Amino acid sequence: MKANPIQLPTTNGNLHKPPITTKHFILPIITLTLLITIHLYLGNFSGLRLIGPATPAAEEDIKCNVFQGSWVFDDKKETYYTNDTKCVIDDRQNCMKYGRPDTDFMKWRWKPNDCELPEFDAVEFLEVVRGKSLAFVGDSVGRNQMQSLVCMLASEAYPIDVSYTNDTRFRRWTFPTYNFTLVAIWSPLLVRTRDSNPGNFTRNSIMNLYLDEADDAWTSQIENLDIVIFSAGQWFFRPFMYYEKGEIVGCHFCNQENITDLTVYYAYQMAYRTIFTTLLNLHNFTGLAFLRTFSPQHFENGDYNNGGNCVRTRPFMKQEMRLDGYKLQMYSTQVNEFKAAQKEGEKKGLKLRLLDTSDAMIMRPDGHPNHYGHPASDNKSFPDCVHWCMPGPVDTWNEFLLEMLKMEGEGFIERAPQRNTTKLNLR
């Protein structure tokens, strides 16, 4: 891609070291143990529903940026599901089951500055995606959103597992009444990785990261998918050896004198550039691709392993907190790459959309499990300030998703055989 709005960091990584380091390892740990079995239940399906197609969004909704706003307390707000709903709430995010005493965190509604964000309507969502497939590609925070979506749909329909593998990281479900397919693709870095020492993976082991090669876990699937939501973030903070064109170009926390410690931002930028360039070149992908932006963690008073936690019980107000520091830099890095790709995508018929959740979520230090998640095998005294309680503010991501899908209007996925076939070079 020619358009490159940000300067690459120099090879002197020291100038660009992210300010915070070890605390970010929490996610890999959690994620590794999160290779969960997602048990979804066979459901009963009512007969055909007599509900018309989704109406296109009104003119004023199209103009409103739903991602800019604030959290408003609504004592009457009911959650879309509870810990008793027939859907999977991972124990690690099942805060109510594990005794979280406060409940106000479930009662804040997102209020965009210039419009309303409608409540999620499961039937409406399922009508919008009727006959389509939707995939979540990414890490365990992406899975968090996917599980929230399934629970939010549970009042209307249950999915049936139609996976063709036993690998629980790659699942495929169908909602028969709606002919809607939901797909989970595990790809926490979105580009190709290889454990340097497979079978002996620890949070400090060095992983090889191929910054210019998209992960074929998703490239092999995507041409058959209609809507794809990409997200990746916290895994980038672990130790890596970085490769481009098959050669080592640098590393991150590798402690080898002859190898430059490049920054996490460098890798994040290169990885996203690769992802978008790959998408632009996949001419048979005629669907809609979302980038769900960086999900901020909220450890305070230390790291996950030395007393850090997230004990707040109410959101920050707008004036108290905004994206800054390394979180802002991660966010801008991916968004800059996204914008460059979106411009290119307009010429090539690729529809890229931003699920711009970061601003809203930076204000939700109260939305994480902290100690009220219960990983089966983990030392449960480790707090989790990375993932999001279910129910909780993560449900808002799916309110955003529905709103964005509605904004596409009817027939938003062209079943055209191919897009513009002018190939872009990978840098």
Ligand X SMILES: *[C@@H]1O[C@H](CO)[C@@H](O)[C@H](O)[C@H]1NC(C)=O
- Closer residue to ligand X (CB): 69 or 369: 369
State which residue, 77 or 322, has the beta carbon closest to ligand X: 77
Q: Which residues bind ligand X (CB under 6 A)?
A: 83-84, 96-97, 131-132, 165-166, 179, 197, 199-200, 248, 256, 258-259, 284, 344, 347-348, 379, 381, 417, 420, 422
* 377 given a catalytic annotation: no
Compute the least distance from the CB of residue 253 to ligand X, in Å: 15
Q: Is 104 a catalytic residue?
A: no
In angstroms, give the least distance from the CB of 416 to ligand X.
Answer: 11
**Considering the complex, what minimum distance in angstroms separates the CB of residue 301 from ligand X?**
14
Using the minimum distance from each CB to ligand X, give the nearer residue, 37 or 379: 379
Tell me how far CA of residue 283 lies from CA of 57, 272, 349, 380, in angstroms: 28, 18, 9, 46
How buried is 33 (Cβ within 10 angstroms: 0-12 exposed, 13-18 middle, 19+ buried)? middle
The catalytically annotated residue of 261, 359, 366, 384 is 384
Residues 6 or more apart from 352 whose CB is under 8 A from it?
Answer: 276, 279, 289, 290, 291, 338, 341, 342, 345
Cβ proximity to ligand X: between 132 and 364 the closer is 132
CB of 181 to ligand X, least distance (A): 7
User: What Cα–Cα distance (Å) separates residue 405 from each residue in 203, 215, 315, 413?
Assistant: 37, 26, 27, 10
Q: How far apart are CA 170 and CA 185, in angstroms?
A: 5
Does the annotation count 378 as an active-site position? no
- The nearest distance, CB 78 to ligand X, in angstroms, is 13
The residue among 116 and 378 lying less far from ligand X, judged by its C-beta, is 378
Given 70, 140, 187, 358, which residue is catalytic?
Answer: 140
| Residues with active-site annotation | 140, 384, 387
